[in-house]
Amino acid sequence: MAIPAETFFLDPDSDQTLQQQIQQQVAEAILTGRFQPGERMPSSRRLARHLGVARITVTIAYTELVANDYLASRGRSGYFVSDNAPRPPNFAPQAAPTESRVDWSRALGQRFSHRATLTRPPNWRDFRFPFIYGQADARLFDHQNWRLCALQALGQKDFEALTSDYYERDDPRLIEFILRHILPRRGISARPEEILITMGAQNALWTTAQILLTQRRTAVIENPCYHGLRDILSQARCITHPVDVDEGGLPPDAIPGGADVVFTTASHHCPTNATMPLERRKALLERAARDGFLIVEDDYEFEIPFLRSPSPALKSLDGEGAVIYTGSFSKSLFPGLRLGYLVASEPFIREARALRSLVMRHPPGHIQRTAAYFLSLGHYDAQVARMGRAYRRRRATMDEAIRENGLKVSGRGTFGGSSYWMQAPDGIDTTQLAQQLREQSVLIEPGRAFFGADQNITSHYRLAYSSIATARIPDGIARIAQAIREST
Amino acid sequence: MAIPAETFFLDPDSDQTLQQQIQQQVAEAILTGRFQPGERMPSSRRLARHLGVARITVTIAYTELVANDYLASRGRSGYFVSDNAPRPPNFAPQAAPTESRVDWSRALGQRFSHRATLTRPPNWRDFRFPFIYGQADARLFDHQNWRLCALQALGQKDFEALTSDYYERDDPRLIEFILRHILPRRGISARPEEILITMGAQNALWTTAQILLTQRRTAVIENPCYHGLRDILSQARCITHPVDVDEGGLPPDAIPGGADVVFTTASHHCPTNATMPLERRKALLERAARDGFLIVEDDYEFEIPFLRSPSPALKSLDGEGAVIYTGSFSKSLFPGLRLGYLVASEPFIREARALRSLVMRHPPGHIQRTAAYFLSLGHYDAQVARMGRAYRRRRATMDEAIRENGLKVSGRGTFGGSSYWMQAPDGIDTTQLAQQLREQSVLIEPGRAFFGADQNITSHYRLAYSSIATARIPDGIARIAQAIREST
């Protein structure tokens, strides 16, 4: 039986090529049993005419399908569905029960979905004034070289790195580059057994909490604080003690007795951007040695210092091995990469590696290798330098627009960063403000998520400039100022 | 100052191109401060002569470095280290403490590293007779098309899928393909909100245990059992009750009262390869409904049925929504991909998604998109069909060699798979046997890891044929038989 050309159609809105669309339709029809082995395909001439495409497009699609054994070519008789084509199953799927009859309120042993995290709309790229934090800017990313590195990492000689289930170790090239080039820039010197690749900083912090904290132990966090860390600690069910930060970040004197682990963003406090002075760092390390607590240093944003050199990491001053350092490529490359790392004493890294193996085995090898190439060929530093130049321009524009519009800055960072911590006038609830601004295509981040649920602090908000074009900044800031005026 | 060409050298053993080596050496020298801004690079002619490469190789490397602002070209004066080149830090890293002074035995709240998992040597590819399980065979993998799909997924129009931190959802294309094409072949029909992408089956099982099990709940597992699951449950600290399997897999009658969750590999028991008959499946589901327990179906190896059609999944018979189904691409694509999925009722998937977000945010978008292309263009099914043909040949050869050498098969699977569960003669400890065989370049998997630590069962072993060439099988099996004879 011949398959009529009319069963094919092209989707003008598809983002796939014409050839791919044809290939996909044939494969799908065979896999679902709509086309049967032995049936004759429309001739390439006929199908091309029907679809209004070049004949060569159909021919290439057919050739691909022959290579994959979906079709067989019988010389001048044309193309047929292959006898060896993948077969559909010989049983009909049963309709899914629309309602589960299980009592899930009883069946779920632990719940994770009650957390109210700061969210941004999935379509944030469609907003004209996206003052949102931590997302990649397509205009600044060196897509071309990333692609070349990925392609190289997909080559035949990297097959093992791509496919292997190598959960005891990480990509040695990536580890080497981080040890030799990334960590020294933070003043940190470490050995290979003191580092572990993680699925981003979130995964690094989560891992740390699992290993160090129990229900009887006390974690000290900064207040305000990265909301993802609050979520992690609430799930770990440890005792959590928030300590208010000031313009120098976390004050070591305010840490209560009995702390087991102190979490800090010393170099660049999240979200206020405060940098902890050297004296405080030394005092913090001394207290850690005296009181016997560990310090987790979340160095989430060091890579983009464009105003002046950053101070070395807290970890670089750590003579006791009491600092667990977390770093990430989310800001300098892109967050969807999900690559970060933990640097700590070997006994800790050993447990972190075992836990990682239990939870997920390992971060995909291909991604590790691609990053290793991108780093070692110098693209990474070039990328960071390029972002630094753009951020410096944006920040100057932000400074000017904020001043002109009379908005109040609560913290802006001294060596760089990508955001301002802002203070709205008394009486303004920034959660509502953010909601109103969305209607004007402006995205800001209300500050409430950075405080504890029991604190009713609603007047802060964060303005990031990592995803907004410089030219849009003045208009966006003006809209925020206007919305604030209308709300007071 | 001019940089002498003599500071450059090429590594003949490097797997990078000559151009990349030059590029990398320049970038590294600048990043470490060895080359300073304003210094003149050797001319391309001079460096090419010194290294013995074509001048164009040096020129291209230099051009790349100019694009990244490491070098600047000053017309006929040549190339100089750029004034805007990325800078080394202006502080010296301090030496790491060689010994941590922290009392880690006290500091670690929870330990994960005490588990003794089945291991294979990292250099298993160097063994001539690798009868090991679950690794990708470079000869069977459609590397070329995977590479093309990855390249497409790295294109400008997929930038968002590559870079976004989209943790609330998964790649809609991948979800759609799994729902429309993968699950129907297992008889399963599901909605998008009933599926979650995981980091492989390990991560799916781990997630399930976190959500469903507490220290007061009881998990029933098959005995023998996938050792990774034992590790997961021991960390979850639930009560674990092993039930001995027979030639029909898990007998529902043997499940003790009070079970909360029953883990089963119904379609293809791990490691014995037994397939659970339809009557047992129905009986298992009836008991689940009566006793109120949930079933976790680990369908880790369905995709390669080459002897006859597989039976539909247990999940396809699930009228209550009591089955949580886990699938994976580790066997059909490759384990380093770390892609799997959970299919279950919406209340469960909601918790799993929240937990995933907490632990790692999400599996990398680029990998999801690459897999979506590979699947939708038909390469996946072609790959599975190709593997099926190779496995059928290998299995026939295995059958013959095992018979000729008088080895005893304990379980071989009825519809396909990739391994045999073997029984050595009484008195043979297969852990020692495996160790002896390594010296003869033979890798087998001792069976002990599949049993509980308290059971001293040492006479089983697993022989997989997913990574060994057909031609090597007879000689490899003969060596195993010889070693067994010598040990008795």
Q: Can you give chain B as a three-state secondary structure string?
A: CECCHHHCCCCCCCCCCHHHHHHHHHHHHHHCCCCCCCCECCCHHHHHHHHCCCHHHHHHHHHHHHHCCCEEECHHHCEEECCCCCCCCCCCCCCCCCCCCCCHHHHCCCCCCCCCCCCCCCCHHHCCEECCCCCCCCCCCCHHHHHHHHHHHCCHHHHHHHHCCCCCCCCHHHHHHHHHHHHHHHCCCCCHHHEEEECHHHHHHHHHHHHHCCCCCEEEEEECCCHHHHHHHHHHCCEEEEEECECCECCHHHCCCCCCEEEECCCCCCCCCCCCCHHHHHHHHHHHHHHCCEEEEECCCCCCECCCCCCCCHHHHCCCCCEEEEEECCCCCCHHHCCEEEECCHHHHHHHHHHHHHHHCCCCHHHHHHHHHHHHCCHHHHHHHHHHHHHHHHHHHHHHHHHHCCCEEEECCCCECCEEEEECCCCCCHHHHHHHHHCCCEECEEHHHHCCCCCCCCCEEEEECCCCCHHHHHHHHHHHHHHHHHHC
Q: Do B191 and A338 touch (CB under 8 A)?
A: no
pLDDT higher than 80, residue A304: no
Instruction: Say yes or no for a CB contact (<8 Å) between A157 and B96.
Output: no
How confident is the model at residue A347, as a pLDDT?
94
A250: helix, coil or strand? coil
Q: What is the token pair recorded at B113?
A: 């590293």
A-chain residues near B91 (CB < 8 A): 187, 312, 316
User: How many alpha carbons lie under 13 Å from residue A220 in its C-beta half-sphere?
Assistant: 24
Residue A97 has pLDDT above 70, yes or no: no
pLDDT at B157: 79
Question: Looking at the partner chain, which of A334, A338, A382 has a beta carbon nearest the beta carbon of B361?
Answer: A338
CA–CA distance, B302 with A435 (Å, rounded to integer): 48
Q: Provide the pLDDT confidence category of residue B80 given band limits of 50, 70 and 90.
A: very high
Q: Which of A415, A388, A309, A301 is nearest to B84 (CA)?
A: A388
CA B8, CA B50: separation in Å to the nearest integer? 8
Give the pair of three-digit tokens for residue A293. 């607590």
Contact A94 B187 (CB under 8 A): yes
Residue in the block written with tokens 């590397």: B143
pLDDT tens track for B335-363: 888 999 999 999 999 999 999 999 999 99
pLDDT-derived band at B8, boundaries 50, 70, 90: confident
Q: Which of B199, B336, B376 sits opposite A24 (nearest CB)?
A: B376
pLDDT surpassing 80 at residue A209: yes
Instruction: Look at residue A167 in the predicted model and tell me its pLDDT.
Output: 65
Under an 8 A CB cutoff, do A108 and B348 touch? yes
Among chain B residues, CA nearest to A198: B360
Q: Name the percent of chain A lying above pLDDT 90.
A: 61
In A, minimum Cα distance to B65 occurs at A378
Q: Model confidence over A231-251: pLDDT tens digits?
A: 999 999 999 999 999 999 999
Question: Per mean pLDDT, which of A128-142, A147-161, B157-171 is the most reliable?
Answer: A128-142
CA angle B135, B141, B145 (to 5 degrees): 140
Q: Is the pLDDT of residue B453 over 80?
A: yes
Per-residue pLDDT tens over the stretch A284-298: 999 999 999 999 999
* Residues A316 and B129 sit within 8 Å (Cβ to Cβ): no
Task: Tell me the per-residue pLDDT of A66-76, one tens digit each, with 9 for 90 and over.
Answer: 988 899 999 88
Mutate which: A62, A69, A90, A154, vs B, most B CBs within 10 A: A154
**Nearest by CB: A97 against B69, B203, B320:** B320
Q: Counting beta carbons within 10 angstroms of the beta carbon of residue B278, is it exposed (0 to 12), middle (13 to 18) or buried (19 or more)?
A: exposed
Lowest mean pLDDT among A264-273, A328-337, B43-52, B194-203: A328-337
Interchain pair B31, A183: CB under 8 A = no
Give the Cα-Cα-Cα angle A192, A194, A196 (nearest 5 degrees): 85
Q: How confident is the model at residue B117 (pLDDT cuts 50, 70, 90)?
A: low
How large is the average pLDDT for residues B283-294?
96
Which whole number is the average pLDDT over A14-24? 87
The rounded Cα A239 to chain-centroid distance in angstroms is 28
Chain A residues within 8 A of B110 when measuring between CB atoms: 210-211, 214, 351
Chain B residues whose CB is inside 8 A of the A109 CB are: 211-214, 217, 260
Provide mean pLDDT across the span B105-126: 80
Token pair of A467 as six digits? 């995803």
- Non-local (6+) Cβ contacts of A485 within 8 A are none
> Per the CB < 8 Å rule, is B113 touching A354?
yes
CA distances from B150 to A155, A270, A370 (A): 11, 35, 12
Q: Which of A441-445, A452-456, B274-278 has the lowest mean pLDDT?
A: A452-456
B185:A89 CB<8 A = yes
Instruction: Give the number of other Cβ atoms within 10 Å of residue B91's Cβ.
Output: 15
State the Cα–Cα distance between residues B41 and B72, nearest whole angstrom: 10
Nearest residue of chain B to residue A385 (CA atoms): B86
Nearest CA in chain B to A24: B377
User: Nearest CA of chain B to the CA of A396: how many Å?
Assistant: 19
Indicate the residue of A104, A214, A384 with minimum beta-carbon distance to B345: A104
Asked whether the beta carbons of A414 and A308 are under 8 A apart, the reply is yes
Name which of A445-454, B114-123, B289-298, B351-360 the model is least confident about.
B114-123
**Structure tokens belonging to residue B268:** 């293809």
Minimal CA separation from B172 to chain A, in Å:
13
Residues of chain B in contact with residue A108, where contact means CB-CB under 8 angstroms, are 211-212, 347-348, 351
Which pair of structure tokens corresponds to residue B87?
Answer: 């800078």
Closest CA to B155 of B445, B373, B405: B373
The tens digit of pLDDT for each residue in A221-230 reads 999 999 999 9
Q: What is the pLDDT of residues A388-423, one digit of tens each?
A: 899 999 999 999 999 999 999 998 877 778 999 999
Q: At A409, list the tokens.
A: 């800055």
Output the pLDDT for position A130.
96
Interface test with B, best of A91, A195, A227 (most B CBs within 10 A): A91
What's the pLDDT at B423? Answer: 96
User: By C-alpha distance, which of B221, B203, B219, B227 is closest to B115?
Assistant: B227
- Residue A328 near residue A296 (C-beta atoms within 8 A): no
Interface test with A, best of B65, B112, B376 (most A CBs within 10 A): B112
Strand, coil or helix: A409: strand
Tokens of B389: 């043909």
Contact across the interface for A31 and B354, Cβ inside 8 Å: no
A235 to chain B: closest CA residue: B358
Report which residue type is found at A63: T
Q: pLDDT at residue A341 above 90?
A: yes
Q: What are the chain B neighbours of A351 within 8 Å (beta carbons)?
A: 108, 110-113
Min mean pLDDT across A13-27, A148-162, B112-126 is at B112-126
Q: Which residues of A touch B68 (CB under 8 A)?
A: 145, 378-379, 381-382
Beta carbons of B440 and B130 less than 8 angstroms apart: no
**Across A175-199, average pLDDT:** 90
pLDDT computed for residue A90 by the predictor: 66
Report the distance separating Cα B171 and Cα B176, nearest Å: 9
Farthest-apart Cα atoms in chain A, separation: 87
Inter-chain contact B24–A110, Cβ cutoff 8 Å? no
**Count of CB pairs separated by less than 8 Å, A with B:** 408
Instruction: Tell me what pLDDT residue B138 has.
Output: 84
> At residue A240, what are phi and psi to the nearest 5 degrees?
-115, 130
**Which residue has tokens 């021991």?**
B234
Residues of B in contact with A20 (CB under 8 A): 377
Contacts of residue B126, Cβ cutoff 8 Å, sequence gap at least 6: none
Mutual angle of helices A346-360 and A200-212, in 10-degree steps: 110
**How many other C-beta atoms can be found within 10 angstroms of the C-beta atom of residue A169?**
14
| A248 CB burial (10 A radius; 0-12, 13-18, 19+) | middle
CB-based burial label for A215 (10 Å; 0-12, 13-18, 19+): exposed
CB contact under 8 A, A213 and B109: yes
> B219-259, pLDDT tens digit by residue?
999 999 999 999 999 999 999 999 999 999 999 999 999 99
Chain-chain contact of A187 with B94 (C-beta, under 8 angstroms): yes
Please state the rounded mean pLDDT for residues B63-91: 86
Task: Locate the chain B residue with the closest alpha carbon to A104.
Answer: B347
Judging contacts by C-beta atoms under 8 Å, the chain B residues touching residue A135 are: 163-165
**Paired residues of B294 in beta bridges:** B261
Helix or strand holding residue A445 (H, E)? strand A445-446
**Domains with residue ranges and CATH for chain A:** 5-81 (1.10.10.10), 124-133+390-487 (3.90.1150.10), 143-377 (3.40.640.10)
B109, B134, B358 member nearest A112 (Cβ) = B358
- How far is the C-alpha of B366 from the C-alpha of B150, rounded, in Å? 8
Mean pLDDT of A336-359: 94
Question: Which DSSP letter does residue A315 get?
Answer: G
CB contact under 8 A, B360 and A104: no
Interface test with B, best of A28, A63, A162 (most B CBs within 10 A): A162
Q: At what angle do helices B143-153 and B379-404 cross, to 10 degrees?
A: 150
Q: Which residue of A has its CA nearest to B202?
A: A360
Is there a contact between B163 and A367 if contact means CB atoms under 8 Å apart? no
User: Are the C-beta atoms of residues B371 and A364 closer than 8 Å to each other?
Assistant: no
d(CA B298, CA A419): 45
How many residues would you count in chain B? 488
Q: Is the pLDDT of residue B413 over 80?
A: no
Give the separation between CA B112 and CA B104, rounded to whole angstroms: 14
Distances in Å between the Cα of A431 and the Cα atoms of A131, A270, A407, A428, A487 are 15, 19, 17, 9, 12
Give CA separation, A103 vs B204, B214, B295, in Å: 21, 17, 14
CA dist B208 and A417 (Å) reads 38
Nearest chain B residue (CA) to A134: B165
- The set of residues, in sequence order, having a beta carbon less than 8 Å from that of B260 and lying 6+ positions away, is A107, A109, B212, B213, B217, B218, B219, B238, B293, B294
Whether the bond between A224 and the residue before it is cis, its omega within 30 degrees of 0, is yes
Cβ B109–A379 below 8 Å, yes or no? no
Report the residue of chain B nearest A387, measured CA to CA.
Answer: B86
Provide the token pair at A163. 């496919």
**Chain B positions in Cβ-Cβ contact with residue A330 (cut-off 8 Å):** 165
Q: Exposure pattern of B375-389 as b/e (b: 16+ CB <10 Å)?
A: bbbbbbbbbbbbbbe
Element (H, E) at A192: none
DSSP A134: S
Mean pLDDT of A479-485: 97
